[in-house]
């Protein structure tokens, strides 16, 4: 399938550590509950998953932040838990509690019974959304595809939803590591297929969200999270439509392991706000681009404070190629949309070459 020519490739150029006219910026969860138009779309859809599974509505909410702000990338509107849902676990959302599963994976029999979904058929609604969004963008900005990391997906599957301590999965990892590895291997195979399908349908970069890898010890992180992300990086389509497909790894609270993450062969590392971006760059040098890393809570502050923090982060990164400005995690629902606009405009203003 052919798509319109890309007009703004600032984001892709920065991922490849090439010269840009100004630092590109996008926000994790940029299509979300802080926008009144998103809340209206979700109400119209009936539920979050109904919104995800309707390609036209998923496209509508993906484009909503781009109608408000001069963002440099769009990110597919979906959820990280689509793969476990396609494995038959029954994803649903409880108000105030986040995602839950009707089936929980705890035993050898549970893991053996899990199918490895085929992205083109079992997750075809995601692929329809990707191609619909890519056409609707009209080459305005690149489209980012994404997946949860195997470890992060496993936490929800074994705990049954969100968790404070991940005690069931960690107990499995330490006392029955062969079981944990069997689950992670199935998830890794699924993620590779899922991201490659997104790339074939129009995603121009992909991000792996390792939201809960930072909950692990250093040794366990390498064994149960990073090694599997390495396999995903090795298994991805890295060139499509005559252009390189950059891969971003984001481990929340992963600042201890930047060098190991950079060694996977990814193109960029996402940083949360617990590490200074200048010091992070000193550690990884020019091996990867860096994405981040303003604390999302700064958006609750005054416009002047937001602008000051943007300027500080740009100064800390320095006059180097390879910075994509982002928040250190997703924008939160209570943020004033006007403040998000102040943030985005400040990035472009202060970074203009």
- Is 79 in the active site? yes
Nearest to 284 by CA among 316, 246, 322, 328: 322
The answer to whether 230 is a known ligand-binding residue is no
The answer to whether 32 is a known ligand-binding residue is yes
The answer to whether 31 is a known ligand-binding residue is yes
- Is 128 in the active site? no
Cβ atoms of residues 291 and 324 within 8 Å: yes
The answer to whether 33 is a known ligand-binding residue is yes
**Residue 341: how many other CB atoms lie within 10 Å:** 16
Active-site residue, selected from the candidate residues 33, 68, 200, 287: 33
321 alpha carbon, distance to own chain's centre? 22
Q: How far is CA 139 from CA 9, 305, 324, in A?
A: 9, 34, 19
The answer to whether 165 is a known ligand-binding residue is no
Structure tokens at 231: 């396999």
The answer to whether 167 is a known ligand-binding residue is no
Each residue's pLDDT, cut to its tens digit, for the chain (353 residues) gives: 789 999 999 999 999 999 999 999 999 999 999 999 999 999 999 999 999 999 999 999 999 999 999 999 999 999 999 999 999 999 988 777 789 999 999 999 999 999 999 999 999 999 999 999 999 999 999 999 999 999 999 999 999 989 999 999 999 999 999 999 999 999 999 999 999 999 999 999 999 999 999 999 999 999 999 999 999 999 999 999 999 999 999 999 999 999 999 999 999 999 999 999 999 999 999 999 999 999 999 999 999 999 999 999 999 999 999 999 999 999 999 999 999 999 999 999 999 98
Topology of domain 10-351 in CATH is TIM Barrel (3.20.20)
- Is 164 in the active site? no
Res 1: pLDDT: 76
The answer to whether 287 is a known ligand-binding residue is no
Active-site residue, selected from the candidate residues 34, 38, 69, 156: 156
**Residue 1: how many other CB atoms lie within 10 Å:** 9
- Is 33 in the active site? yes
- Is 200 in the active site? no
Please name the residues in contact with 332: beta carbons below 8 A apart, sequence gap of 6 or more.
34, 296, 297, 299
Q: Which single residue is written with the structure tokens 């052919």?
A: 2
The answer to whether 121 is a known ligand-binding residue is no
The answer to whether 79 is a known ligand-binding residue is yes
Structure tokens at 324: 């994509």
Structure tokens at 350: 């202060």
pTM of this structure: 0.97
Beta strands in the chain (DSSP E): 74-75, 91-94, 98-101, 143-148, 205-210, 239-240, 243-244, 247-251, 268-270, 289-291, 323-324
Cβ atoms of residues 23 and 314 within 8 Å: yes
Nearest to 85 by CA among 59, 58, 105: 105
Active-site residue, selected from the candidate residues 13, 29, 100, 231: 29
Active-site residue, selected from the candidate residues 9, 10, 13, 79: 79
Q: Which single residue is written with the structure tokens 């509690």?
A: 97
Please state whether the peptide bond connecting residue 345 to the residue before it is cis, i.e. omega within 30 degrees of 0. Answer: no
Res 97: pLDDT: 74
């Amino acid at each position: 399938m052919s798509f319109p020519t890309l007009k703004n490739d600032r984001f892709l150029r920065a991922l490849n550590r090439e010269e840009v006219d100004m630092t590109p910026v996008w926000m994790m969860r940029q299509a979300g509950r802080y926008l009144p138009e998103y809340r209206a779309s979700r109400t119209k859809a009936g539920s979050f998953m109904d919104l995800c599974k309707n390609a036209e509505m998923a496209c509508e909410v993906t484009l909503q932040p781009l109608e408000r702000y001069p963002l440099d990338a769009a990110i597919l509107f979906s959820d990280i838990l689509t793969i476990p849902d396609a494995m038959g676990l029954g994803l649903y959302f409880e108000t105030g509690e986040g995602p839950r599963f009707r089936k929980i994976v705890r035993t050898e029999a549970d893991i053996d019974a899990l199918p490895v979904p085929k992205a083109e058929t079992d997750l075809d609604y995601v692929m329809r959304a990707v191609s619909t969004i890519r056409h609707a963008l009209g080459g305005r900005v690149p489209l980012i595809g994404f997946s949860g990391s195997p470890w992060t997906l496993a936490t929800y599957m074994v705990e049954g939803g969100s968790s404070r301590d991940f005690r069931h999965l960690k107990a499995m990892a330490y006392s029955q590591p062969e079981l944990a590895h069997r689950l992670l291997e199935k998830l890794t195979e699924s993620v590779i297929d899922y991201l490659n399908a997104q790339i074939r349908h129009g995603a121009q970069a992909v991000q792996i969200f390792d939201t809960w890898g930072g909950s692990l010890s250093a040794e366990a992180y390498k064994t149960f999270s990073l090694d599997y992300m390495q396999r995903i990086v090795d298994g991805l389509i890295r060139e499509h439509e005559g252009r390189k497909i950059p891969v971003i790894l984001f481990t929340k609270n992963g600042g201890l392991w930047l060098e190991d993450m950079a060694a996977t062969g990814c193109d960029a590392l996402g940083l949360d706000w617990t590490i200074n971006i200048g010091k992070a760059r000193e550690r990884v040098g020019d091996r990867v681009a860096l994405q981040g890393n303003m604390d999302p809570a700064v958006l609750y502050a005054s416009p002047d404070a937001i602008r000051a923090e943007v300027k500080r982060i740009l100064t800390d990164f320095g006059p180097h190629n390879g910075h994509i400005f982002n928040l250190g995690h997703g924008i939160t629902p209570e943020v004033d949309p006007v403040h998000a606009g102040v943030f985005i405009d400040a990035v472009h203003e202060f970074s203009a070459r």
